[in-house]
Structure 1
Amino acid sequence: MIKEFKEFIARGNVVDLAVGIIIGAAFTAIVNSLVADLINPIIGLLTGGTDFSGHYFVLKGEVPPGASLQAARNTGASIFAWGSFISAIINFLIIAWAVFLLVKAVNKVQSSTMRKKEAEEAAAPAGPSQEQLLMEIRDELRAHRV
């Protein structure tokens, strides 16, 4: 069982996946900062100058007026944090857009590589067709019979 586990870990796909997860986590931190530090303040400015991600409604419980989202959560009240949800949607859209651009770039590179391969194959001198080879064999056999 340990041998199988070592073989599994040693596969290239597992290492590639691990690298992808690590890079994805770092990329997520960058996107979260982009949304929290740049986009939300701009949206907040447009909606009245408050931090957009801090918008919430109290569904049940007592929260001091003007309390931050974290302070409201710390009171134990039931909070409808719609600003955080909107931030999560913005994060998702930014990440999805970045992944789309990455896949598009990879497809473009793969497509150009495939076109280059096809051009090289087309430029290679074509050998005789199967029919031509069979006719040559037939002619050789006839020549040796005489």
Structure 2
Amino acid sequence: MFKGFKNFLMRGDVIVVAVGLIVALAFSTLIKSFTDSVINPIIARAQGGKSAGLGWQLGQAGNKTTYLDVGSFISALIYFIIFMAVVYFLIVVPYKAVQARRGITVFGDPTPAKTCPACLSGDIPEAAAKCRYCGTDQPARPERAAG
């Protein structure tokens, strides 16, 4: 029972994903600090005065639950974009390169697909002779003329 679990954990892909998640968590903390300490004050200053941030008070003055904080949303959006860029360039791109050296294509373009005329499933491979869902024979692909 434990041998199968050990084999699962020791697969290279699982280790790479685990390390990637740890790195992503560390960058997440760093980027959160950046948006809280740098971006939020800039956005709050953009409104000017003694404002609590970029936004509007919808209810009673001083009530934080009725404050529409647009600045926090903008900050969260900037955080998300920075975080996804970090994940892509520091985890996905190197992982694609390592897998390409191993002869495996990951995160590639989707394979061409066609739609079944009987059940209208749109994810049938171009070369399929039968639909994987309804079993209907698929029309042959028209051959391309050389030219």
TM-score (norm 1): 0.50
Is this contact kept in 2: 1:41–1:51, CA < 8 A?
Answer: no
- By relative contact order (CA 8 Å, sep 6+), the higher-ranking structure is 1
* SS, match of residue 19 in structure 2: helix
Per the TM alignment, residue 10 of structure 1 is displaced from its structure 2 partner at its CA by 1.6
**2:111 aligns to what?**
none
**Where does the alignment leave 5 or more consecutive residues of structure 2 unmatched?**
102-147
Aligned partners of 1:51 and 1:80: how far apart in 2? 11
**Where does the alignment leave 5 or more consecutive residues of structure 1 unmatched?**
73-77, 114-146
Per the TM alignment, residue 31 of structure 1 is displaced from its structure 2 partner at its CA by 0.6
Is this contact kept in 2: 1:57–1:80, CA < 8 A?
Answer: yes
Per the TM alignment, residue 103 of structure 1 is displaced from its structure 2 partner at its CA by 6.8
Per the TM alignment, residue 2 of structure 1 is displaced from its structure 2 partner at its CA by 2.6
Percent identity between the two aligned chains:
35
Per the TM alignment, residue 26 of structure 1 is displaced from its structure 2 partner at its CA by 0.9
Equivalent pairs, count:
97
- The counterpart of 1:89, out of the listed 53, 59, 77, is 77
TM-score (norm 2): 0.50
**1:26 aligns to what?**
26
Higher Rg:
1
**2:120 aligns to what?**
none
**2:5 aligns to what?**
5
Is this contact kept in 1: 2:40–2:75, CA < 8 A?
Answer: yes
**2:48 aligns to what?**
48
Is this contact kept in 2: 1:31–1:95, CA < 8 A?
Answer: yes
